[in-house]
Amino acid sequence: MKVIFPEGNEKEVASENRPIEAIIQDLGLNPFELLISRDGEIIPEDTIGDETDIIRLIRISHGG
C-alpha cells in the first residue's frame, strides 16, 4: 500500500489486511487528526487496507 502524507511525501507500507487506522498509528500519526482518501473518496478509518491501495492522508485543521 502506498501512503501519501499531508506534506506530500510517500511511503510504501504492508497492509497485512489490517484496518487503515492501525497502519496510521504504526506510522506514528493520530488517525483522529486525519481524513483518509482512496480513489478520491473519503473512507472510514476501519476500512481494511489492500496492498494495491493508494491512500492519501488529509490533515484536519481546526479553527475558531
11 CB neighbour count, 10 Å cutoff: 10
* pLDDT at residue 37 in the model: 97
Unique residue bearing C-alpha cell 476501519: 46
* pLDDT at residue 61 in the model: 81
Read off the C-alpha cell for 12. Answer: 510504501
Cα 48 from Cα 31, distance rounded (Å): 14
Domains of the chain, start order: 2-59 (3.10.20.30)
- Local structure of 14: helix, strand or coil: coil
- Look up the pTM and report it: 0.88
- Local structure of 24: helix, strand or coil: helix
* pLDDT at residue 42 in the model: 97
* Residue among 28, 50, 29, 23 nearest 39 (CA): 50
Encode the chain (64 residues) as per-residue pLDDT tens digits.
999 999 999 999 999 999 999 999 999 999 889 999 999 999 999 999 999 999 999 999 876 6
